[in-house]
Amino acid sequence: MTLTRRTFAQGAAMLAGASPLMGFSRRPPGDPIAETSWGRVRGHRQDGVCVFKGIRYGADTAQTRFSQPRQPTPWRDVIDATEYGASAPQKRPDGPASEDCLFLNVWTPAIADDARRPVMVYFHGGAYASGSGSSPLYDGTNLAIKGDVVVITVNHRLNAFGYLSLQHLSPDFPDSGNAGMWDLVLALRWIQANAAAFGGDASRIFVFGQSGGGAKIATLMAAPSAKGLFHSAATMSGQQVTACGPLNGRKRAATFLRAAGIDPADTQALLAAPMEQLVDALSGADPINPDRGLYFGPVLDGRLLTRHPFWPDAPDQSAGIPMILGNTKDETRNLIGSRQPETFDLDWADLPALLAVHMRCDIDPAEVIETYRTLYPEQSASDVFFAAATAGRSWRGQVEEADARAVLDGPTWVYQFDLASPEDGGKWGAPHTIDIAFAFDNLDRSGVHDGTRVPTGGVYARVADELSRAFISMARNGHPNHAGLPHWDTHTLPNRQTMIFDAATRVENDPRQGERELFAKVPFTQWGT
């Protein structure tokens, strides 16, 4: 049977608040049972940790399509929390996908023991379009044990389901452009209310995320509705300097509705459309950047976002929140190289045209090439391509965020991840996503993305211990310093202190200064805005 919005709605009504993957429990009485504000959930013990999967924090979003989420319906019986909940609708989900997707997962050393552990909440990546909190790479067991912390991963609405801007079409959809962000606000409120039930401390909630997950955190730092919901943060290759403007949001909505075959005036048809019809409409060209796929992300809607996340400055509301900002040195080696393998074997004549496309800023490619050949005369044409594409399209967003926070004296620590993967002879360098396995200390699960497979011992194990303990320290103490690291100073101007995670982990001032100064000549343009 094809699973549609309607069948999920029927199932939700039958279970009265249970996850479609969580049934009423008949498991052994020795399993851990947590008392949440909505009802009791039964997890299981695994590898010395209490694990709860697929806990509902919000109601079925099929009932609130393109609107703020609702709190779940309380339940009376103990519900099994032993299987991951569905991911949000997306083009190529790894498992079951449904509009009934507001679930989270918890790993904790113990429950209800008054330990008041820091809570580490992870938001997955996927560029607002894909992913879920159930990837094995995000398993929180090792972090929970190592740091005596509570680890939580979250599912929420993505792509058009989470960010289709419909404000201009109907007053019934005032929050449609940021519905996915409202999901995260609801999840954080749930975590604050229920942290103690899982042995956590509601006054020490640390949010961290990679790529799109980090961008979601940067967005929340400027969202008034998220004020006070977390106390420290870390973004990994996840910058959100500006949000999509309302006019571009309208253009994307019009493109999407045409692809879905829905009259913009017929809001009832939009609400009644099968989930699959809307997923199919995600394919196609973006009206703002026609050479790329249709983009959906946070919208400057005047409600959740009343300003851009980090433009023209850092938001005052989060200036005092301790924050780690990190990027990998070779972000684009897999982001571009995995789709265009020819980029690993370029001639110098190939560069100008390719850089013009991939740097995502209006700068003369000839000047870029000349500068890089002066800075790094040993680099090949392919090396220059990946370095300049990384600096031009993503790394400079982190630079802008770090510098903006420094102006406000916001406590900020910056890292660059340089430790390269040996996969395929080392051609990938330290690409996008490689630091996830290190942050979770899950090296045995590395290699989910191209170029990120690493050994589990030696220098790799040491760096995993360094980075994961830095995040644990941030959650516990409000700073990343610990005995296993060189002293890590906050980012200040003009020094721009940066921790380099590498075979020899060290602190450098203003690494890649020449690259930073080159791209500072042109305004930064956030992809999708």
User: What percentage of the chain carries pLDDT values higher than 70?
Assistant: 95
Beta carbons of 497 and 402 less than 8 angstroms apart: no
pLDDT at position 15, please?
38
**pLDDT tens, 339-373?**
999 999 999 999 999 999 999 889 999 999 999 99
Question: Among 22-31, 53-62, 395-404, 450-459, which is the least confidently predicted range?
Answer: 22-31
pLDDT of 488 above 70: yes
**pLDDT tens, 466-482?**
999 999 999 999 999 99
What is the band of 29 on the pLDDT scale with cuts at 50, 70, 90?
Answer: low
Locate the domains of the chain by residue range: 5-236, 322-519
d(CA 68, CA 216): 16
Where is pLDDT greater, at 132 or 284? 132
pLDDT of 486 above 60: yes
The two domains 5-236 and 322-519 share their CATH topology (first three levels equal):
yes
| H runs (alpha helix) in 273-379 | 275-280, 332-335, 351-358, 365-375
Residue range 156-169: mean pLDDT, rounded? 96
pLDDT of 40 above 70: yes
Provide the 10 A C-beta neighbour count for residue 3.
17
d(CA 373, CA 74): 63
pLDDT of 129 above 90: yes
Residue range 99-116: mean pLDDT, rounded? 94
pLDDT at position 114, please?
84
**Tokens at 241, concatenated:** 């300097």
Q: State the fold for domain 322-519.
A: Rossmann fold (3.40.50)
Highest CATH level, class, for 5-236: alpha beta
Residue range 308-328: mean pLDDT, rounded? 97
Residue range 257-274: mean pLDDT, rounded? 94
pLDDT of 162 above 80: yes
pLDDT at position 529, please?
85
pLDDT at position 23, please?
42
pLDDT at position 527, please?
81
Q: Is the peptide bond before 312 cis (omega within 30 degrees of 0)?
A: yes
C-alpha triplet 198, 58, 244: angle, nearest 5°: 115
**pLDDT tens, 194-214?**
999 999 999 999 999 999 999
Supply the DSSP string of 448-503, one letter for each residue.
SSTT----SSHHHHHHHHHHHHHHHHHHHHSS---TTS---PPP-TTT-EEEEESS
287: nearest Cα among 245, 243, 248: 248
